[in-house]
Amino acid sequence: MRLGWTTGKYSITYRAVKTVRVNGKNKTQIVRSFGSEKHICETYGVTDAKAWAKEQVRLMNEAEKEDSAKFHMEFCAGTDLVMNQQRRFNGGYLFLQDIYYELGLHKICRAISRRHLFEYDLNQILSRLIYTGILYPSSKRSSFHESKRFLEQPSFELHDIYRALSVIAEESDYIQSRLFQNTTALQKRNTQVIYYDCTNFYFEVDAARDDKQFGKSKENRPLPIVGMGLFMDMDGIPISFSIFPGNRNEQRTMIPLEKKMLSEFDLSKFVVCTDAGLSSATNRVFNSYDGEDGLRGYITTQPIKTLKAFLQKWCLADDGWFLDGDPSGKTYRLSELDGETDKDKIFYKTRWIREEGLVHTDKGDKKEIIEQKLIVSYSIKYSTFQRHVREGQLERAKKLVEDGYTSSGRKKQNDPKRFIKTDHATKDGEVAELSSSYIDESVIREEEKYDGFYAVCTNLDESVSNIVKANRRRWEIEECFRIMKTDFEARPVYLNRQERILAHFITCFLSLIVYRYLEKKLDQKYTIDQILPTLQEMDFMKYEGKGYQPVYTRTELTDALHDAFGFCTSKQIVPIAKMRNICSQTKK
C-alpha cells in the first residue's frame, strides 16, 4: 500500500491505495480513506496531515505483513515425507476452548487440584474429554488418541485419564454448583421456570451391579441401565443432574436433586415444569411452597384420559371455550369453529380442582388434598397433526395384519399394534391354531375423542398464556437427552467402576453446557447437524517453520464462528506466531 491523495479546490484528501491486477490490467484500489486535510487535523489533533496519513499507511503495511505473510514453499516430487511426523491438525476445538475458559472450568480444575495430591494436569484432561466428547465421541482410550489431533498436543498419558475420572466423580457436586455460580456471574441464568426430566442409558454388560440395574429401558433393550435426572433452565442450558439405579422409580428422583440445588445453588424461587410421568402427588406438594426461605410452584402435563369422569366431560365439552389473547371474554363452541380462519388459534378453558393424593414423607405415607388449576387447550392445527400421525400408524397396522400378525400383550401408546385385535378360535376350551386379526375401530374412535386437546395442571394463579408458554419449552430438555445420546454418543457405556461411570456422565453434562453456549454465541441460527461437521472439518496442514494452511471450506458458518469469537483462521496461511496467539486468546 502507498499514500495517495486528490487535490480539490479548497482541500487535499488523503487515502491508502494499492495497485491490483484486474483482467490483465493494473488498477488502483482505495483501501482506506483518511478524509480531508482539515478533517484529519481537527479529528486527530495533528498539524501535519500528510505526515500522519503516511504513518498510518506504514502501520497498515506492517499489520498486513504480519497477518498475511507470503511464504515461498518448494515441493519436490521425489522427496519422502518425514517418518511419523504429524502434519494435519484440527482447529475447530478452539471455539469450544474459548467457551470452556469463559465458563471458568479451568479455575474449577485448579481448585480441585489444590485439594488432591496428583501430578497430572486435571484441566488438560477434563478439557480434552469435553472437546473430544463433542467432536469425536468414543471411549476414553480413543479420546486420548483423538486429542492428539488438536493443534495443542496433550501432556498427559492414558493412565492419567482413568485416575482423573475418580477425582472428577468425587467432586461432582462441587463442579456442578461452582459452574452454576460461574455461569450466573457471566450472564444471569433464566431460572424462573426450570424443567426436569429423566432418561436412562444402557450398558454393554450382562450382570446388574451398583447403579447398573435391569429396568424399563427407553430403547427397549434387555440390558442393565442407569437413570439420569436433569434440570434445565428456560434457555435450554442444563443446571444440574444426578444418576440413579435403573430400577428406581423416576418420580422419587426429583426432590433429592432439587434439595441439593436449594442448598448449594442459591436457588429459592422457581417453578418446576415436568411431564405427567414425573408429577406425583409428593412432587406437587413439595413444590407448592411459599415460605420465608423461598417460593416454589409447578406446571405439569395432565392426561385427560386419567381424569375423573366428570372432569373429562368438562374438558371435552363443546361450549365454554375462550380464545387465547382475546380480552373481550367471548366464549366459543368447538363445533362452530372454522377450519381455515381458526386453524392457527388456541382456545382454552380453566378451573380449579381438588384431588386427593398419596404423599411420601419421612414419617410415612399420608393422604393430602391438592388444589390446582386445570387448564385445557384446543387447537385445530394440533388435532390435524394428531390425526395425520395416527393415519400413518394405521397404515403400518394394516400392513401387519396383511402379513399375518396376531395381537398379544399390552401395547405402548404410539405402537401401531394397539389398533390390531385378534380373535382366536377355540375348540373344547382350548385355543386352536386358527385365528384372525383385524383393525379395531373402537380403539380409533376412542382416540379421536381427544384429538386437539392438551391439558396441564399448576398451583400458580398466572395467566393461561404464561402457563402454556412455559410448558411449551419442555421439548428442549428432550433435545438435551437426544444430543447426549445421539450426537455425543453417551451410550452404550462400557465402564464398570461406579465412580468412572459418574465421571463419564459429568463430562457428557459439561459437554452439553459448552455446546449450548456455542449455540447462543451463534444466535441459535445453526443446527447441531451443521455445527459439529463444520468444527470436525476445520483442519490445518502444518508447514514447519512457515505456518498452518486451512484445508477446510470457508462457509457462512465458519465466518459466523470467527465473527462471534473474535479471531479468524480463514486465511491462505496462518503464521505459526499468529496461531499461537489465537490459542492463547481462547484461554483468556
pLDDT in tens, 175-213: 999 999 999 988 888 898 999 988 877 655 444 455 544
Domain extents in the chain:
2-67, 382-448, 530-585
Question: Residue 70: what pLDDT?
Answer: 57
Instruction: Quickly tell me which residue has 478533517 as its cell.
Output: 39
Instruction: Using alpha carbons, select from 308, 307, 462 the residue that is nearest to residue 373.
Output: 462
The answer to whether residues 414 and 393 touch, using CB atoms and an 8 Å cutoff, is: yes
Q: Is 525 in a helix, a strand, or coil?
A: coil
The answer to whether residues 277 and 250 touch, using CB atoms and an 8 Å cutoff, is: yes
Distance separating the N- and C-terminal Cα atoms of the chain = 33
The answer to whether residues 60 and 16 touch, using CB atoms and an 8 Å cutoff, is: yes
Q: How many CB atoms lie within 10 A of CB 255?
A: 16
Q: How far apart are CA 114 and CA 108, in angstroms?
A: 10
Question: Residue 494: what pLDDT?
Answer: 55
Q: How far apart are CA 92 and CA 150, in angstroms?
A: 8
User: Given phi > 0 = left and psi -120 to 50 = alpha, else beta, which region is 466?
Assistant: alpha
Residue 9 predicted with pLDDT over 80: no
Look up residue 379 and give its three cell numbers: 387447537
Look up residue 24 and give its three cell numbers: 490483465
pTM (two decimals): 0.77
Buried/exposed code over 30-40 (b: 16+ C-beta within 10 A; e: otherwise): eeeebbbbeeb
pLDDT in tens, 386-440: 999 999 999 998 998 888 887 766 677 778 888 888 876 665 555 555 567 888 8
Question: Residue 22: what pLDDT?
Answer: 61
Which H or E run includes 576?
A: helix 576-585
Which H or E run includes 456?
A: strand 453-458
Q: Is 11 in a helix, a strand, or coil?
A: coil
Q: How many CA atoms, within 13 angstroms, populate the side-chain half-sphere of residue 272?
A: 29
Instruction: Quickly tell me which residue has 465458519 as its cell.
Output: 558
From residue 40, alpha-carbon distances to 5, 6, 7, 58, 205 in Å are 13, 14, 15, 17, 75
Higher pLDDT, 77 or 3: 3
Q: How far apart are CA 87 and CA 293, in angstroms?
A: 59
Q: How far apart are CA 40 and CA 560, in angstroms?
A: 34
